[in-house]
Chains A and B, each alone.
Chain A
Amino acid sequence: AQSVTQLDSQVPVFEEAPVELRCNYSSSVSVYLFWYVQYPNQGLQLLLKYLSGSTLVKGINGFEAEFNKSQTSFHLRKPSVHISDTAEYFCAVSDERAAGNKLTFGGGTRVLVKP
């Protein structure tokens, strides 16, 4: 079984400032890692994913994340946020070897970008 902890439930940040959203996971097996974004009244959209290879993953909208196996973390960063980045962000994992599309999500981090 896997579990995901997002350490911050809310992160206020000023426009054009950097932001980091923290994600730690627990799993007895190798996992794939994901970050999703949810805008108000919408479904989830994939920002980026780590499957294998380089531990620094670049995604859409200027986001990137770094996989750290020893610390079981997958933190998301953006060097300069915009008002439009106001949304809820979810970290998720899946069992690398399991058949199927089951994702285990963290509790989410609400990002509020202030002008």
Chain B
Amino acid sequence: KAGVTQTPRYLIKTRGQQVTLSCSPISGHRSVSWYQQTPGQGLQFLFEYFSETQRNKGNFPGRFSGRQFSNSRSEMNVSTLELGDSALYLCASSVGGTTYNEQFFGPGTRLTVL
């Protein structure tokens, strides 16, 4: 069974641009969550989608948005990039709707904002 895949793996953008990151969950998984990892703030929850609906949202500005498609693939978008958005963005998928089920993480997309 293929694991969680994230594309692209590395990305360099400049301030003010926008970016879209993609996550393909494990086949059969309906939940996709996104996390931001930085040296200063650690791992922070961004949002979670389950069956195309956003179910939970972390404390991030509205510049961070996401969506999930009918095949469970998910994208997250960051508009008007700031230097502080440089981070590793991790996506995790789960078969079910609660943390009772194991979440499987992808390798992440490393975003650098110049």
Q: Which residues of A contact B (CB under 8 A)?
A: 32, 34, 36, 41-46, 49, 51, 90, 92, 94, 98-108
Contact B106 A43 (CB under 8 A): yes
B43 nearest CB neighbor, chain A only: A105
Contact B102 A102 (CB under 8 A): no
Task: Please report the C-alpha to C-alpha distance between residue A94 and residue B103 in the assembled complex, in whole angstroms.
Answer: 12
Secondary structure at the B interface, as helix, strand, loop or mixed, is strand
> Which of B13-21, B67-75, B89-97 participates in binding chain A?
B89-97
Q: In which size bucket is the chain B interface?
A: 20 to 34
List 30 contacting pairs A-B, 8 Å CB cutoff, sorted by A: A36-B105, A41-B107, A43-B107, A43-B108, A44-B90, A45-B105, A46-B102, A49-B102, A51-B100, A94-B99, A98-B98, A99-B98, A100-B97, A100-B98, A100-B99, A101-B31, A101-B48, A101-B50, A101-B92, A102-B33, A102-B45, A102-B48, A102-B56, A103-B45, A104-B45, A105-B35, A105-B42, A105-B43, A105-B44, A106-B42
